[in-house]
Amino acid sequence: MSKLVIEGGKPLCGTIPVHGSKNAVLPILAASVLCTKGVTVIQNCPDLKDVKSTIKILRYLGAKVKKDGHTITVDASGKLRHRVPKRMMQKLRSSIIFMGAITARNQKAKISAPGGCKLGARPIDLHKDALRALGCDITEKHGYIYVCGKNRKSVELSLRFPSVGATENMLLASCLTPGVTKIKNAACEPEIIDLADFLNTMGAKIIGAGTPEITVTGVNSLHGTEYAVMPDRIAAITYLCCAAATGGSICLTNTVPEHLETALSYLAQCGCQVEAEKDVIRLSAPKRLSAVPEIETSPYPGFPTDAQSLFLALLSTADGTSTIHERIFENRFKTADELSRMGADIEIKKDIATVCGKDHLTGAHVCACDLRGGAAMVIAALSAEGTTEIDNVCYIDRGYEALEQNLATLGASIKRM
């Protein structure tokens, strides 16, 4: 089990590019099984554990997958299996997107509940409801979910909550379903737009992605394409927080600043100078950040839940008291305990964290509770006095490519042991 050892107190300065988006590439890879004519060439793929797990699923299904640097080529034109073993499903949350993809491709699927970070119950009822509304028959036996999609029909469905994953499953299951399907109260996250754009370049007819109402007109088949995945907006926020927490000054390239608007506005409220131009974001931080009275997570374009732990770490040393209200996941404050080991003063009451900013944090032996919680501990460690050891790096590796190398380029003292 590897750990990160970070010596804090060094302001991060310099320029780094942001890698491709984890949460966009995973559904796009799942969507590649819908291509029956030609191959899909997917560029700007980050080199991450979750991407490797998804490639394993694609190969198990029978697709030919080639990875060359950040480009992944998928040839799914041959016969594909319709089932994914439990051990592969449990590796990541995004494996559930294969439910819609395989059903659309093979008219049936056999999968099990997905894995992923433990942020709360994370049910899949909305995914199943969406497929049932499309006419799929779903039964469950011995821990497996059996989907029969032979009688799929177009539908108008309003999601009870704008779930990212359920919207993605619905897009995949409907784009080869005859007729016009409308998804109301759809998730508006940029990753949904990326998936719809990818499918459209394969010949799908999807309009309205990025708004709460998406219209999908079913087509007969999809063909090969070449597509570049969007930049990772959460990785971008992470690096900005690293610089902000250390009083640094950084420039990020390969970003889409409008994807980060809410987080950037909070960084500005903390006292950072933030400038965005085309695909570049520059941030220059004051010696000490100011507290932010109230932050509330909500679906896009609101403040992302994935950035909540990052801000918890950031605001631990801000001047004044901040509150963060977590409204998406019921169990995403575990990182507060780890931050407390470093001297943070955080009180959790139900879904609200109150953070009283301390002068400084001190190095300690801590662990990553989940992917973004792990990134939060890195932010805290970079700003702390002394040395911090972070265990459970495997969580962090799910979402950040070359984290140590990037931070070392910016002047951090960080080692993997």
Name the residues that contact ligand EPZ, by CB under 6 A.
23, 26, 93-94, 117, 120-127, 161, 163-166, 187, 234, 305-306, 328-329, 371-372, 399
Task: Return the DSSP state at 95.
Answer: G
Tokens representing residue 316 in the block: 């631990």
236 touches 23 (CB < 8 A): no
Question: What is the spatial distance between Cα 214 and Cα 169, in angstroms, rounded to a whole number?
Answer: 13
Q: Which CB, 203 or 302, lies closer to ligand EPZ?
A: 302
Q: Which is nearer to ligand EPZ, 225 or 238 (CB)?
A: 238
User: What's the rounded Cα separation, in Å, for the pair 97 and 165?
Assistant: 7
Q: Residue 340 corresponds to which tokens in the numbers above?
A: 């407390």
Nearest in space to 415 (alpha carbons), one of 386, 384, 383, 387: 387
Smallest distance, Å, CB 395 to ligand EPZ? 10
Residue 259's CB is within 10 A of a number of other CB atoms, namely 24
Q: Which of residues 50 and 404 has its CB atom nearest to ligand EPZ in the complex?
A: 50
**Residue, CB closest to ligand EPZ:** 165
Q: Which residues contact 346 (CB under 8 A, 6 or more apart)?
A: 312, 316, 336, 339, 340, 353, 354, 355, 356
Is the Cβ of residue 95 or residue 388 nearer to ligand EPZ in the bound state? 95
Say which of 117, 136, 367, 369 is annotated catalytic: 117
Residue 189 CB, shortest distance to ligand EPZ, in Å, is 6
For residue 129, give Cα distances in angstroms to 43, 153, 228, 309: 33, 14, 31, 31
Select 23 or 32, whichever has its Cβ closest to ligand EPZ: 23
Strand positions, DSSP E, 229-320: 249-253, 273-277, 280-284, 295-296
Active-site residue, 117 included: yes
Q: Collect all residues with Cβ–Cβ distance below 8 Å to 141 and sequence separation of at least 6.
A: none
Active site residues: 117
